[in-house]
Amino acid sequence: MVKVGELRAFVGDDSVIDEPGQMAAYLNEPRKRFHIPAAAVVRPATVPQVQAIARWANENRVPLIPQGGNTGLVGAQVPLRGDEVIVSLQRLDAIRDVNAQAGNMTVEAGVILQHAHDAAEAAGAIFPLWLASQGSARIGGLLGSNAGGVQVLAYGNARELCLGIEAVLADGRLYQGLSALRKDNTGYDLRDLFIGAEGTLGIITAATVKLFPRPVGYETAFCSVAGPEAALELFYLMRERTGSRLTAFELMPRLGLDLLLKHQMIPQDPAASLSPWYALVEVNLMKGSASGALEAALAEAFERGIIGDATVAQSETDRTRMWSARELMSEVQSKEGASIKHDVSVPIAAVPRLIAEGSAAVARAIEGVRPCPFGHMGDGNIHFNFSQPVGADPKAFMAREADANAAIYDIVLRLGGSVSAEHGIGQLKTGLLERVKDPVALAMMRSIKSALDPNGILNPGKMLGSADKAVPT
């Protein structure tokens, strides 16, 4: 039994929530798959308070769940057992330093991603981690889940955008790893232990992240392609013609656009014509660079029969409309009923095979299913979603989720891919991780967990499953 009064004694009454109704915002995760209550929510306002909470929890064997904006999609940030205390980092939201010329910024874990964007842009730079939930996702959670987004192609995921980490360990000690160094060859890179660890090794309290020069503009096009094979050919051409200026290459099926128009989630069709597939392509315009690279590449693609046509954004309004179609692609499927979702990656060259074989396999298993694969073709990460058949019972459809999962994951692994590209493991995929991860790698992960969190208080049961459960009080 968690002694909430002890928590209040060292963080204050207003920093602890134990009334179920008031905890709802911290428990209701986006996909509404997990419904376990928490023992309490604690909201520290300083790093020393986080340290005090960790020391207390370690001494009393109380499980802690670090939480940022509660936008995670695999349940890492919400309870698994019901005896956990959620440690919300929302109040640690200071931007400690911005140095645009040196290309770095130090922010606390509770900083909302959009606010990090604003701070960087005010200094004449960009922090190029862009995703649909950037208005609520927070830096600590993004690093803990090693978030990806639509600019990974050019800038990398959260791990590649982080220079240094500050984190509270399970026993309350503070790992002071904040650094703006681009080179530091003095042993193990401890920073990387915490990035992607989903709060199982420490509580991230701050980070130094990379900034990049702000583009002066963008060249954006919505291209009609016959299929994923043509989209892959277009990607190769665009990369050859525009190099590192190619920042995004997103693939979408016509079904997704039809659903967006049906449910009036976009004001008009961004495509120039009906086509079974589309590619959203974006190239940065940097200071001093010549415009026209995108249109020149598209002209060549048209001549070679790679694309049917394309709409090129003529204004920021046009660009926003194109990106809205991509960003709402997942959300609109909920309006069609149940949806079976997969966040997978394969080598870029294997994306067409993944989509063709995966769509066929699940269609054989579930009659009338509607495949809606879309996403980051430029880095091989496809969100392979399936909407329920028209008129089907949602519960009956979701009862077939295991069949769809088995079909997709079998193909992904055969193609040399990953069963979790950017969403993580959390509590949703712990069993899957045990089946697909190299046994030696899994043993190494468990050894690291045991060394840093011997009492198993940090996010027990997440990622590594039942092997790391905390000792009950």
| Cα radius of gyration (the chain) | 23
Question: Which residue in the block uniquely carries the two structure tokens 């009393």?
Answer: 60
Structure tokens at 449: 């967990």
User: How many CB atoms are located within 10 Å of the residue 318 CB?
Assistant: 16
Q: Phi/psi at 294 (nearest 5 deg)?
A: -65, -50
Distance, in Å, from the CA atom of 230 to the CA atom of 307, rounded to the nearest integer, reads 7
The helix or strand, by DSSP H or E, that contains position 310, with its residue range, turns out to be strand 310-312
The pLDDT score that the predictor gives to residue 467 is 52
- From CA 226, how far away is CA 204, in angstroms rounded? 45
DSSP state, residue 215? P
Q: How far is Cα 21 from Cα 29, in angstroms, rounded to an integer?
A: 15
Q: Which residue has the tokens 């991603």?
A: 113
As a three-state string, the secondary structure of 370-397 is: EEEEEEEHHHCEEEEEEECCCCCCHHHH
* Residue that is written with structure tokens 């069949």 in the block: 403
The Cα–Cα gap between 113 and 173 comes to 27
Which helix (H) or strand (E) segment holds residue 107: the answer is: strand 104-108
Q: pLDDT value at position 473? A: 32
Averaged over successive runs of 10 residues, the pLDDT of the chain (473 residues) comes to 82 92 95 94 97 96 97 97 97 98 98 98 97 95 96 96 98 96 94 97 98 96 98 98 95 97 96 97 92 95 97 96 95 94 98 98 97 97 97 96 96 97 96 95 97 98 73 35
Contacts (Cβ under 8 Å, ≥6 apart) of 391: none
Eight-state DSSP code of residue 138: B
What's the pTM?
Answer: 0.94
Dihedral Cα 93, 137, 433, 427, nearest 10 deg: 90
| Per-residue model confidence (pLDDT) at position 9 | 86
Report pLDDT for 471.
37
